[in-house]
Structure 1
Amino acid sequence: MKKENIRDKISENINICSSPSELKITDIRVANINGAPKHCPLIKIYTNQGLIGYGEVRDASSATYALMLKSRLVGENPCNVDKLFRRIKQFGGHSRQGGGVSGIEISLWDLAGKAWGVPLWQMLGGKFRDKVRMYCDTDVDGKHSGTDMGNALKKRMEQGFTFLKMDLGIELMLDEPGCLNAPMGMLEDIKKYSMKAINHQRNSIDRDVMRGKNYETFTIPHHATGIHLTQKGMDYLENYVREVRDVIGYEIPLAIDHFGHVCIEDCIMFAKRLEKYNIAWIEDIAPWHYTNHYTKIANSCNIPICTGEDIFLSQNFVPLMENGGVSVIHPDILTVGGAMEMKKLGDLCETYGVAMAIHMAESPIACMAAIHAAAAVQNILAVEFHSVDIPWWNDLAVGIDNPIFDKGFANVPNKPGLGIDELNEELIAEHIHEQYPGQWEPTTQWDIEWANDREWS
């Protein structure tokens, strides 16, 4: 057979869904939805061949973090993911500031996968598993007991979840006399700026609270608040955990989060009390960048210590792991830098002997990206799922499993890119954030922004 015929025969059998070498980015647009479970800025990257890449900015963040990158990307081939990531990486930052770079990176992978006809996990080097364990974060509104939380968690177990998490901290005791010791007015300010209160008012955030003294109070780091737990307060929280375990038993992993901005000495004392309740991890017990604080806490108790959802880039996890400050790291794919940074971080976990769980409190776009990344990482505890009680969440993305989880696990998709066929535009329209109206509106104001981006002279 002639060489030309062989090449033609090969070309006929290659699953290429476009002309990848000629693919170009033509536009980037956003739609802001609310209540999934929080404000989620969704991203679409458009191309000259009709392919659309889906991405998302970190939960409760701003679409501006993504749109500001548009002029650096239009006209480029999205399949050159590494090249483009290196160009825009300098505009990312920790916590929500990482959301634009990370969300764009996910969109680029989605386009590359669609162009070449392969799933994201394959482009990361292949998969280690066909199913990913999902752990379920659970909230109980209003004044409640540990028994109430235990019953809520028991329902999660009945739904098939095999790993659980709950909030446990000073917000449970803000109205309990004698449980907390704090500078005058501090606790009242925290009540006014409670993140739960803001989340419950998702469409009507009090801008005066956001910009006023309550905002300043809430941004004081743990060691500088002057807030202490009294022995009565520690008794109260310990009894809450005991009640939870009395309902759900001791066989299932239970992690805890949102302890509060409390001094590390009190955190250590209380962590020691928790040792007998078989806690999977205690999360974000100090600001992540205070490595010495984490090392001190980790060396003082036998509870696994966890942090990481606010860390941008895999390299910034190294000090915590090198110094023994964490047993579990908890990155968010929409802060860490996207899928490839998650893969790199998984490799670092093997180097330092640290476990990984993935934070995820966003739409199905971020969820599918996290599942792909979790499949491509050698060892993974679980991926968070925070939207069990949102009946329309799964319907936002067409072509994914519905429900996304079965007996506590999610299937790793084999479809190209993220595995999402399309978005449910009617459903998105029903849940557009009223403070950010418009659905995939033109973003021409970002077309020609230019700056001397080079970081060196």
Structure 2
Amino acid sequence: MKITSLTTYEVPPRWLFLKIETDEGITGWGEPVIEGRAATVAAAVEELSDYLIGQDPRNIEDLWTVMYRAGFYRGGPITMSAIAGIDQALWDIKGKALNVPVHELLGGRVRDSIRVYSWIGGDRPSETAAAAKDAVERGFSAVKMNGTEELQYVDSWDKVERCLANVQAVRDAVGPNIGIGVDFHGRVHKPMAKVLIKELEPYKLMFIEEPVLSEHASSLLDVMRNTPTPIALGERLYSRWDFKDFIASGAVDIIQPDPSHCGGITEARKIAHMAEAYDVALALHCPLGPIALASCLQIDAGCYNAFIQEQSLGIHYNESNDLLDYIQDPSVFSYESGMVKIPNGPGLGIEVNEDYVKERAATGHRWRNPVWRHADGSFAEW
């Protein structure tokens, strides 16, 4: 079997899909994207195609190694996201060729389903209590919300109180036994992160996510180690080499690699198993489309330390198209009692609606992060 072509499709709301075709008529799908840089990742996929056309798609480990190591400059969000989507599509092809789900090729399942959580609210975390209650009524047992709006390096106490009031409203709405994740989204700098982590302790959170940007986390390790609240991070780390020091530090309780950003199924599994050796939990990052979610679930199936899965159904970014729009059988992601079953179909376990993908790719997108500013006019982290 030989790879004959790679085709990318930019589709709303902010996704990039990849189709890899072979000379035996078996095709695979992947989702290589950095949100806000879809066209750049598509260009990287095209450049990497030089290593792939004419090669056997089943030699996944060797192809991954060539894509990563044959470039003198390695890693980073663009290259690793391009490799990620290609890797997902290669696993999809191999599973389809053997008529088994990807998780069977990775050693089989340790679970039949996994808990999922629902995003509540938008970029600015107000009026989230009603959304949290609605999510629980729809069967979710965990939710995640943004913790703050813009925060200066050192900011006023009313910003802290606003965060606490928002979290308190959600806790009051859903009761004591629903998991609440609070995402700082990299908006918070070290001086305020120390304050917020301490003040949020009484709310018995499921986790605090990305308390500071990963490049600043080393200055906060003692605070992260000593809070009773689990600390999660990793969506902006792109390889096992990026993760290794955080995992070994003892300050991170949950890692969140994104299999559409961190080199795909191949690399995400290596990161997950490295974390397991340190008794660190896995909660794969996935505010993306159906191919990304299917890839996550194939990894979750065989990773003992996976405990919950992010998914994007109804997330505030999905204004034009939603998670289920691009697949033939939406029931593959049906949620029940806050859980989703591991797909058992061949490959990634989903069938992409290619005609609809092409139709929406004609519209495309040019999604960009919002640009926020502080009251003094300086740039504010989003």
The alignment's TM-score, normalised by the length of structure 2, stands at 0.87
* One-letter amino acid of the structure 1 residue matched with residue 25 of structure 2: G
- Greater displacement, 39-48 / 88-97: 88-97
In the alignment, is the contact (CA less than 8 A) between 1:136 and 1:156 conserved in 2? yes
Counterpart in 1 of 2:131? 152
> Take 2:322 and 2:231, find their aligned partners in 1: how far apart are those partners?
34
Query: Deviations along 1:239-277, whole A, 9 cap, x unmatched?
Result: 221122111112111001135533312211111110000
- Distance verdict in 2 for CA 1:260–1:59, change over 3 Å: closer
In the alignment, is the contact (CA less than 8 A) between 1:264 and 1:297 conserved in 2? no
Matched, 1:70 2:45: no
Matched, 1:51 2:26: yes
- 1:261-410 counterparts in 2 under 5 A? 261-388=187-314, 392-399=322-329, 401-410=331-340
> Take 1:313 and 1:278, find their aligned partners in 2: how far apart are those partners?
31
* One-letter amino acid of the structure 2 residue matched with residue 375 of structure 1: A
In the alignment, is the contact (CA less than 8 A) between 1:313 and 1:336 conserved in 2? yes
Q: Paired residue for 2:67, among 77, 80, 88?
A: 88
Matched, 1:231 2:231: no
Q: Paired residue for 2:147, among 168, 171, 187?
A: 168
In the alignment, is the contact (CA less than 8 A) between 2:254 and 2:282 conserved in 1? yes
* One-letter amino acid of the structure 1 residue matched with residue 311 of structure 2: F
Matched, 1:133 2:115: yes
Q: Paired residue for 2:104, among 119, 122, 128?
A: 122
> Take 2:350 and 2:231, find their aligned partners in 1: how far apart are those partners?
35
- 1:324 Cα shift? 1.4
- Specify the SS of the correspondent of 1:27: strand
RMSD of aligned residue pairs (Cα, Å)? 2.1
> Take 1:95 and 1:325, find their aligned partners in 2: how far apart are those partners?
24
Counterpart in 1 of 2:3? 25
- Distance verdict in 2 for CA 1:291–1:377, change over 3 Å: same
Could you tell me which runs of 5 or more consecutive residues in structure 2 were left unpaired when the two chains were aligned: 367-382
Matched, 1:420 2:350: yes
- 1:164 Cα shift? 1.0
The alignment's TM-score, normalised by the length of structure 1, stands at 0.73
Structure 1 or 2, whichever has the larger Rg, is 1
- Greater displacement, 294-303 / 340-349: 294-303
Could you tell me which runs of 5 or more consecutive residues in structure 1 were left unpaired when the two chains were aligned: 1-22, 172-179, 183-226, 437-457
* One-letter amino acid of the structure 2 residue matched with residue 134 of structure 1: V
Query: Deviations along 1:407-455, whole A, 9 cap, x unmatched?
Result: 322211222111123424235513644457xxxxxxxxxxxxxxxxxxx
In the alignment, is the contact (CA less than 8 A) between 1:257 and 1:283 conserved in 2? yes
- Greater displacement, 44-53 / 283-292: 283-292
Aligned-pair identity in percent equals: 27
- 1:166-245 counterparts in 2 under 5 A? 166-171=145-150, 182=152, 227-245=153-171
* One-letter amino acid of the structure 1 residue matched with residue 100 of structure 2: V
In the alignment, is the contact (CA less than 8 A) between 1:94 and 1:310 conserved in 2? no
Matched, 1:109 2:35: no
In the alignment, is the contact (CA less than 8 A) between 1:46 and 1:53 conserved in 2? yes
* One-letter amino acid of the structure 2 residue matched with residue 169 of structure 1: T
Counterpart in 1 of 2:376? none
- Distance verdict in 2 for CA 1:95–1:278, change over 3 Å: farther
Query: Deviations along 1:313-355, whole A, 9 cap, x unmatched?
Result: 2232110111112111111011121112222222212211111
> Take 1:126 and 1:414, find their aligned partners in 2: how far apart are those partners?
11
- 1:231 Cα shift? 1.9
> Take 2:185 and 2:239, find their aligned partners in 1: how far apart are those partners?
25
Query: Deviations along 1:33-56, whole A, 9 cap, x unmatched?
Result: 011xxx111000011011111011
Counterpart in 2 of 1:99? 81
